Chain A
């Protein structure tokens, strides 16, 4: 469903962020993208969501080559994804309900049907009682859940989440992970960037690890989990020394 072939990404005036990345993600998978800060996780997700174009190589989404799509077709491609951004990108000038309804307005759903879907999405993330609240009054974990509600309201078949548990303490993070697993259970493909291994489940998980622009792929088994967590924590400590 999502296929990268020798994809290289360079931003104007930057080095290569991704180098010759090839990957294949099937429908219904739950895939983690790991790597230290600045490794290119967000860039990889943006290439998948068609909000960035590859510098070279091909990105195929549902058999469509993103580089060759007409500009007018790109918005319709993007609507296939539910995006959870690293910085939420919630709109603070409107309440929760109005935040969540935005994707429905964009795809032309309105009226009772839209309201029903917004409430269903809020219900799934446990925020139904907060529909009138302004996002600024929500806790960090609640804001993250609101962002998830907005991503799932148009019922996309692919969820792309960029460090959704990034700034949350462990219990909140576990809540969020549970929500993603629930969506994956009903067949939604989930692609999640994370710089810690906290959320990575007890199940065998597929991990795409980015390091210096190169992609390493491996399967993580429950037994490896603790080692991996330790090594990733070390990596983030080193990283914070660098900064």
Chain B
């Protein structure tokens, strides 16, 4: 037991002093590992937050009710009364064609092409519209509500917004798959990088390994320091990745504060995702261990004395 502990502390000490002696190359390897971990993790954070944003917007307005162009004030009032008395509706609000027109002009002001196009339109092409939030979020109930609203006189078109949310969800799903494969590819890259680094170290310690075997070293004595090296590369790379992500997020933070304000409300981006961080470190450490194990096992086979 004591022996076992000795063996491990010695291996760890040896690796740490080696890393200190080659601080620069150690840093470079950890940087490569860190960046490789950062890429899929940032993608993941993006998709994760987009999904939540999508959910959030889905509950914002679910049905848009576009009125006929000739709808006059009394028609609008009648429709509004019907909406107010409808039990399935949580709340609704009217955006008149003038408001929409002003909004469009204002929004397009920053974009020259769009702004010119809008200016070129002499008449306001936009209809009056009600934006409605239903009490239920169930798709089929929304569908029946939409159909009943479609039949109200003066309504040109009722649009269920879940359509694009569904489409977005599919898109995000695709994004998740994409991230999965990117992560898988980068894991292979990391395995190769770490394996190769360990292989090079074994080569530079060839003499030591050879003598050690001759005077009675076990395979585990030879293997352990390299396994520690692999694990430490993973750990340091993982920590570096987290540091880099924190830095990137800090620069994002201000615009995100604006964004949250824009959507008023309870919505906030989940950026410091501790599960993600644990996963990143865990993955990096496992890959480090596996890469080192493969490299050192192959080397041990070639050192076989008899």
Residue positions of A touching B, CB distance < 8 A: 49-53, 72, 74-79, 81, 83, 85, 89, 91-93, 102-103, 105-110
User: Is there an interface contact between B215 and A102, defined as CB atoms closer than 8 Å?
Assistant: yes
A-B contact pairs, 8 of them (CB 8 A): A78-B214, A89-B211, A89-B214, A92-B207, A102-B208, A102-B212, A103-B216, A108-B3
B9 to chain A, nearest CB (A): 8
Could you say which of A52, A89, A93, A106 contacts B216, with CB atoms under 8 Å apart? A106
B42 to chain A, nearest CB (A): 41
Q: How far is the CA of A83 from the CA of B212 in the complex (A)?
A: 11
Indicate whether B217 reaches chain A with its CB closer than 8 angstroms.
yes
Could you say which of A53, A77, A92, A106 contacts B217, with CB atoms under 8 Å apart? A106
User: Which B residue sits closest to A89, measured CB to CB?
Assistant: B211
Q: How far is the CA of A108 from the CA of B212 in the complex (A)?
A: 13
Query: Among B7, B207, B211, B216, which residue has the most Cβ atoms of chain A within 10 A?
Result: B216
By secondary structure, the B interface counts as helix
Q: Which residues of B contact A53 (CB under 8 A)?
A: 306
B3 to chain A, nearest CB (A): 4
Residue positions of B touching A, CB distance < 8 A: 3, 6-7, 9-10, 207-208, 210-218, 221, 305-306
B303 to chain A, nearest CB (A): 12
B2 to chain A, nearest CB (A): 8
Q: How far is the CA of A85 from the CA of B218 in the complex (A)?
A: 20
B216 to chain A, nearest CB (A): 4
User: Is there an interface contact between A89 and B210, defined as CB atoms closer than 8 Å?
Assistant: yes
Q: Which residues of B contact A85 (CB under 8 A)?
A: 214
Q: How far is the CA of A52 from the CA of B305 in the complex (A)?
A: 7
Q: Which residues of A contact B9 (CB under 8 A)?
A: 110
B17 to chain A, nearest CB (A): 11
Q: Which residues of A contact B210 (CB under 8 A)?
A: 89
User: Is there an interface contact between A91 and B7, defined as CB atoms closer than 8 Å?
Assistant: no
Q: Which residues of A contact B217 (CB under 8 A)?
A: 75, 106
Could you say which of A49, A78, A81, A106 contacts B221, with CB atoms under 8 Å apart? A106
User: Is there an interface contact between B211 and A75, defined as CB atoms closer than 8 Å?
Assistant: no
